[in-house]
Every structure is written in structure tokens, then in C-alpha cells.
Amino acid sequence: MKHLSRNDRSLVGRWFWTIDKTLLALVMLLIGLGIVAVAAAAPAAAHRYSGGTVRIGELFYLKRQIMWILAGVPVMLLTSMLPIDWAKRVAIGGTIVFIVALFAVPFLGSEVNGAVRWINLPGFQLEPSEFLKPMFVITTAWLLAARFDDRSLPTMQLSFGLLVVIAGLLVKQPDFGQTALFGAVWTAQAILAGMSVLVIGGVVCLAIGGLGVAYLTSTHVAERIDHFVKGTGDTYQIDRALDCFKAGGLFGAGPGEGQMKFRLPEAHTDYIFSVIGEEFGAIACFVLAVLYLAIVVRVVLQLLDEEEPFIFLAAAGLAIQFGLQAMINMAVNLALLPSKGMTLPFVSHGGSSFLALSLGMGLLLALTRRNPYLKASPYAARAQAA
């Protein structure tokens, strides 16, 4: 890159000098740590899914993860080169496409662990909700930002209606964890957009009421909550996760030395944080949590002087979504929340998850680029005129 001067107006030149290199470096570091984590969890996952004999190869899931990384990182980098207007168009179009895909899931989807969330494609299981998450955040930001120009527009109601449609489709799968994540991110964006205290109270009451209805009508939800609150029923998953942390202690058993991970369900996906705890210790888990926090804080710092509502709401929403997903996964592994079936961003194994996260992070990198030519907004124009 030494031949790229600041006056270079090529696509790559503009991208290089305007991208948030600190944020990009933090994300690439996280992806690198994810490779190490999947390498640690891969033998346990291979053992579990081979019925006790490692017929698929101990490094099968590591090789697949590297394949997804080789596909996902270019997606992230190419998406980060998009101008703001194109990022908005891609997200709005993607929202429509993946809502249609969510409608199709009950008819075309395959059942895994009692849930129908995936559409089988050649060599790939597509989970529409994963791709919809970043698209929905940006679409919601676009709707809510319109209120800053015309307060009479019912954009708050429209965005909430969109949330209700998505929540209904997710509950049908059922996927209550993703439903809660969509709702939490929408609420955060609406608050940032100026939602009144009265409406905030109504949303909270609605959420509590919805949880109560889910508890009374869904055996799946009732069992998860009872396991968490009362400690009754089948607590095998969380007990094995805690065993991993206990075995690892502060400094871990060492790479490849963990034994508790072989008893852990979904060691390479939902419970990979527990594998990290066993093999690398509590200190490594703390460092990983700080890395997630650093990514969110970096975005917040970038937005402190942001004047355009759409960019502020979209970037903040993507950062909140990313941080909440990481927090929920780690809390579930530590028995601080009921089991959710949610991956640890850029660390857990998974095709849909990694590609969708790459797309979302690419959009976030595009939104946080500091280039006046990419932000042709009335707010920027007024600032330049002044």
C-alpha cells in the first residue's frame, strides 16, 4: 500500500485512506482468535457427530471454518467499499429478500434440534434470520432517520410494524433468542431516535407480556426458563459448560489438552466460549470479552461527532447488535442467561453466521469511513457551507 498516496482517487485508494483501520484490525484479530478457538473445539465436535468415533476427521470443522473465512473476509472488505447510498440500497433490498426467505422457511426449511430455521442449499444451510439482522438494522435506521426531516411521518410505527412481522416469523420457527435480539436492537435505535418515555414504557410492558405468553404457551420456552430459574429439568448443557470453566481455571489446561469439551454439546458453535475457558483459561475469556467491548467502543468513538442521523442510527444499531450477541452467548455459557442457541460473533463455527457477520461488519466499516465525498448529505453540505 506504500504506493497509495492520499491524493489517489481510485476505489482502493479512497478505501485505504478512509477506512477505520483500528476497527478493521480489531475485527481481523477477533477472526484470528476464532480460528484458534475452532481448532480447539473441532476434535470434540467431530467426536460427538461421529457417534463416538472420529470418522469425519478431527479437523473437519476447522477446515470448514477456514473455508467460510476465505469467503467471508472478501465479502466484508468489498462491502466496506460501498458508498453510503449503495450500502443503504443493499440493506433495504436485502431486508425484503430475507423476509421473503423467512416466509419460505416453514415450507422449504429443514428441522435441526426441534427448530426449523434453515433452508438447504447445495453444500450450504442458509439461515435467513442471520442475514436479516444487519439488513433490518440499516432499514430501521433509514426509517427512523426520516423523522428528523419530517416529524409527521409515521416511520416509528412502520419500523415497529416491520419488527412485529419479523418477530412473528421467528417465533414460529421457534427462535426466541433472535426475536429478543431484534427487539432489543430496534428499541435501542428508537430511543436514540427520540422515542418518548411513555412509548418506551409501553414497549417494555409489551416485551414482558410477550415473554409471559411465550412461557405459558410454549413448552420450549417454559423449559428453558424453568431450567434457568429453578434449576429443574435437563441442565446437562449448562452443567457441562461450567465443568469446562472449572477444569480450565485461570490459565487453562493448554491447547488440545481439554477433556471436558468432549462431553459438551455444540462445542464448536453455541458453547465454544466454554472450550476457550477450559483450554486457555478464565484470563483468555476475559481478554476475548474485552476485545468485543473494544470493537463496540471504537464505533461509539467514531460516532461522537457524527451529524447525519441515518449514519448515526445505522452504525450504532450494528454495534449494539454485535455487542449484544456476543454478550448473550458468553452469558449463556456462564449460566447467567437461559440457553439461546446464539453463536459467538466471528468465533463460533458456522457458514450463515460468519457470512452474515462479515456482511454486517462490512456495512459498519462502510458507514464509519471518514470521507466527505461518501457522505453527500444535507447535514454535511450545511457544515461545508458554514
pLDDT at 233: 59
Laid out side by side, the sheet with 124-126 consists of 109-112, 115-121, 124-126
* Helices 84-108, 351-367: inter-axial angle, 10-degree rounding: 160
Q: Is 297 exposed, middle or buried (0-12, 13-18, 19+ CB in 10 A)?
A: middle
- Asked whether the CA dihedral 80, 365, 375, 5 is positive or negative, the reply is negative
Residue 101 CB contacts under 8 Å (≥ 6 apart), including other chains: 119, 126, 128, 131, 132
Report the 10 Å Cβ neighbour count for 49.
13
Rounded CA-CA distance 345/291 in Å is 11
Question: Which residues in the chain come in under a pLDDT of 50?
Answer: 52-54, 372-386
pLDDT at 380: 43
Report the 10 Å Cβ neighbour count for 114.
8
pLDDT at 239: 85
Do 179 and 169 form a contact (C-beta atoms < 8 A)?
A: no
Q: Is residue 313 in some structural domain?
A: yes
Rounded CA-CA distance 57/225 in Å is 36
Q: Is residue 6 in some structural domain?
A: no
Q: Is residue 123 in some structural domain?
A: yes
Q: Is residue 247 in some structural domain?
A: yes
From residue 74, how far is each of 77, 269, 339, 355 by CA, in Å?
A: 5, 22, 32, 10
Q: Is residue 269 in some structural domain?
A: yes
Q: Is residue 10 in some structural domain?
A: no
Rounded CA-CA distance 177/179 in Å is 5
Query: Do the bridges between strand 115-121 and strand 109-112 make them parallel or antiparallel, or are there none, so unpaired?
Result: antiparallel
pLDDT at 120: 78
In eight-state DSSP terms, residue 194 is: T
Identify residue 138 by its one-letter amino acid code.
Answer: I
The C-alpha cell that represents 290 in the structure block: 474485552
pLDDT at 316: 96
Number of domains comprising the chain:
1
The C-alpha cell that represents 379 in the structure block: 447535514
Q: How does pLDDT run across 45-97, given as a tens digit for each residue?
A: 887 776 544 456 778 889 999 999 999 999 999 999 999 999 999 999 999 99
Report the 10 Å Cβ neighbour count for 103.
14
| Rg (alpha carbons) of the chain, rounded to whole number | 21
Name the residue range of residue 106's domain: 18-380
Q: Is residue 5 in some structural domain?
A: no
Q: Is residue 376 in some structural domain?
A: yes
Task: Report angle CA 308, 10, 361 to the nearest 5 degrees.
Answer: 50
Beta bridge partners of 121: 124
Q: Is 70 exposed, middle or buried (0-12, 13-18, 19+ CB in 10 A)?
A: exposed
